[in-house]
A and B are shown apart, each in its own frame.
Chain A
C-alpha cells in the first residue's frame, strides 16, 4: 500500500474511535508535557544562572596583579635557590600587552581610592570606584533609581543606596543634584620652572611626583541597591561610583605611586590590579596561562563555573528522568490502546488480508496510527509543557514582585527541546506500537474473519 493511502487510512481509523484515541493521545501529551516542563525549567534556570553570572562579569574576567604586590611586602622571601622572575610593573605598557592577547575583549585598571565627598555642607569619607563601561550591561544596574552614566567620561556619579541615605532621605531626591569629590591628584614633575625653586630641586633629584589637592563636582545620576563590584578579586565594594575613563583622567594618587617613584619610573603610574575581560568563560584558562607567562599573578572564578555546570547537569538529568517516567506511563497507554484495537478490529484485519493486504501493510497501518498518536501527542505536549513553563514564570514573577525583586524567566523551551520532544514522543509511540502491530500482522485471516 502507498504511504499516502496508509496515512489516510490511519487518520481515518483514529478519527473513527475519536474518544479512545484522543484520551491515549492526551496521555502521551501529558507525558511529553511533563518532560518538556521539567527540562525547560532546568534549561531556564541554567540559562538564567549563566546569564546572571556572565553579566556579573565574574566568570569572563581574569584579575591581574603584579606578583610583587601579590606576595605582599611582609611575606618572607622564597627559600629555594632559583631566583624568582621579577614581575613587570602593572602599568600602561602592561595594559597594552594584555589587550593584545587573543580572546581578550577589554583591559581596564582598578581605580579605587578613599576620599572625602561633600554634599550640602556635609562631608563624608568613603571609598570610590571607577566602573568600566562594560558594567552597564551587568544585572547590577537593573531596577536602579535614576540612570547609568551618560558617557564613559561624563562628570557623573552613582551612589550606593546606604551611602545615599546618609546624604539624603529618601535617596531618590539626590538624582540630578551635584556633589563634590575632594581627592589627591598625582602630578608628575617633568618640567623645570626656573622661577620655582621646588621644581628645580626636584629636577636636580631626578624627577618625582607631587600630590595636589583637587575638587571635582559630579552630577548624581543614579542610586543603586546592590554592589556591582562586590567580591571582584576579593577587593570588597565601594560606595561612590565614577565612569572609569573619567576616574583615570583624575590621576588620583595610588598606593603604588611610592613604589613607582622608588623604582625610578614615576612618569608611568603602576596600578594595583587590572581586570582582563575575555570573550566567554571558556577562554579564561588560556588567557590566564598567557598572563602568568608574562609574569603577573592572576585570579579567576573558573572553578566555580565548573562546579555550577556539574550541578546543573545533574539537575537536568534528574528532571529528565522524572519526565521520562511520565512518558513511560503514557507509552503503556499506547500499547494498551493498540492491543485493545487489535481485539476490536480483528475482523477488519481479516477483511484487509482477504482483500490482499500483506502482513507488512497491516503492520504499517498500526505503526502509522501509533506514530500519529505520538506526533499529535508530542505537538500538544510541547505546547502544554511550554504553557506550564509560562505559568511557572508568571507565578514566580508575582511572588518576586511582592518581594520587591525584578521578575525573571525561569522556564525556557529552546527549539532543540521542542523538536527533540516531538521526535522522542514519536519514537516512544512507535516502540509502544511494535508489539501490537506485529501481533496484528501475524493474525490468520480465516480466524480473523470468523471473529464476531
Chain B
C-alpha cells in the first residue's frame, strides 16, 4: 500500500443507477488514496466499474454516496460550475475514442481548453505549439482529425489534455482503439510525460500486461468493488 500523503482520496465511494425497479451498483464502497506523481492503473474486466470510478475522480460524474477529496475539495459537494472549473484547471482527459472535434484542425482542438479557461490569445499559440511538440505532432497542426492516423489522433488528444498543464491526467482505455505498436507508443509517451512533468496519471485499462509494464500501482476492480490494490515493483 502507498505510504505517501494522499493527493486524491476516495472514501467509500458508491455509484448506483436505477433501471426501473432494479438498482445497479456500478461502484460500491470503494476507498482509494492516490499520491501525487503516481501512475495508477485501474484494472478490470468490462462492467467492473473502473470507467465509472474514473468519471467520478475526473469530476464528470458524482458519487451516489461517499466523498472524493482532491486538493482539499470534496468533488461530491461541488457546485456544477466549480466542478467544471476543476475539470478545466486540474484535470486532463484522454478517451478511448480520441474525441477530437472532427470539424476543427488539430491545433484548434488543442486550443479548445485554453479558450474555455480564458487564457490570453497571445499566450495560446505558444502553449498549443509546446503541447503538440511534446507529442511529436508539431508538423500536423493544420490537419483535421480525419487526416490523421489513430495513433496520431490519440497523441493529439493527449496534447489537448496537457495544454492546460493539469495536475492529474485521466486516461480511459487510451489504447483500446489502437494496434499494439501505437498502443505501446502512447503509453511510452504517457510515462515520459509523467516523469518529466511530475503529474499524477490514472489510467483505466483491461489489459493487465500493459498495466504491469507502465503503471507503478494497480488497483483491480470487479463487480464495482476494489478487489486488490498493489504497488508495482
Task: List residues of chain A with CB under 8 Å of any chain B CB.
Answer: 1-2, 5, 9, 12-13, 16, 347-348, 350-361, 444-446, 449
0/1 interface trace, chain B 70-97, chain A, CB 8 Å (1 if under): 0000000000110011011101010100
Contact of B116 among A347, A348, A356, A445 (CB under 8 A): A356
Chain A residues touching B, majority SS: helix
Are B88 and A356 in contact, with the CB atoms below 8 A? yes
Could you tell me the distance between the alpha carbons of A422 and B27 in the complex, rounded to whole angstroms? 53
- Alpha-carbon distance A237/B107, docked complex (angstroms): 83
Is B60 interfacial (CB 8 A cutoff)? yes
B residues in contact (CB < 8 Å) with A = 55, 58, 60-61, 80-81, 84-85, 87-89, 91, 93, 95, 99, 101, 103-104, 112-113, 115-118, 160, 164
Q: Given A446-B60, A446-B61 in contact, is the A357-B116 Cβ separation under 8 Å?
A: yes
Q: A1-B116, A16-B103 are in contact. Are A354 and B80 (CB under 8 A)?
A: no
State how many angstroms separate the Cβ of A446 from the closest Cβ of chain B: 5
Min CB distance A59 to B, Å, is 61
Which A residues lie within 8 Å of B118 (CB)?
A: 1-2, 5
Measured between beta carbons, the chain B residues less than 8 angstroms from A354 are: 58, 60, 87, 93, 95, 99
- Interface contact A348-B101, CB-CB below 8 Å: yes
User: A355: which B residues are within 8 A, CB to CB?
Assistant: 87-88, 93, 112-113, 116, 160
**In the assembled complex, how far is the CB of residue A261 from the closest CB belonging to chain B, in whole angstroms?**
95
Check if A449 sits within 8 Å of B95, measured CB to CB.
yes
Q: Closest B-chain residue to A348, C-beta based? A: B101
Which listed residue, A2, A12, A16, A353, touches B84 by the CB 8 Å rule? A353
Complex partner residue of A356 from B61, B85, B95, B101, CB under 8 angstroms: B85
CA distance in complex: A358, B78 (Å): 13
Taking a contact as CB atoms under 8 Å apart, the answer to whether B99 and A356 are in contact is no
Other A-B pairs, 17, CB within 8 Å; known A356-B84, A449-B60: A1-B115, A2-B118, A5-B115, A12-B103, A13-B103, A348-B101, A353-B60, A353-B84, A354-B93, A355-B88, A355-B112, A356-B91, A357-B88, A357-B116, A358-B81, A446-B60, A449-B99
Contact assessment for B115 and A9 in the assembled complex, using a CB-CB cutoff below 8 Å: yes
| Bound form: Cα–Cα A352–B113 in Å | 8
In Å, the complex CA distance between A418 and B95 comes to 49
Residues of A within 8 A of B116 (CB): 1, 352, 355-357, 361
Judge whether B103 and A356 touch: CB under 8 Å: no
* Nearest chain B residue, comparing its CB with the CB of A357: B116
Nearest CB of chain A from residue B88's CB, rounded to whole Å: 3
Residues on B with C-beta less than 8 A from A13 are 103
Separation of A13 and B102 alpha carbons in the complex (Å)? 11
Q: Which B residues are in CB contact (< 8 Å) with A16?
A: 103
Docked CA distance A347–B81 (Å)? 20
Q: How distant is the Cα of A444 from the Cα of B113 in the complex, in angstroms?
A: 19
| A350, A355, A357, A360 — most chain B CB neighbours (10 Å) | A355
**Distance to closest chain B CB from A267 (angstroms):** 90
* Nearest chain A CB to B184 CB, angstrom units: 25
| Residue contact B55 to A446, C-beta cutoff 8 Å | yes
Q: List 27 A-B contacts (CB under 8 A).
A: A1-B115, A2-B118, A12-B104, A13-B103, A351-B101, A352-B112, A352-B116, A353-B60, A353-B84, A353-B87, A354-B58, A354-B60, A355-B87, A355-B93, A355-B113, A356-B113, A356-B164, A357-B84, A358-B81, A358-B85, A359-B84, A360-B81, A361-B84, A444-B61, A445-B60, A446-B55, A449-B95
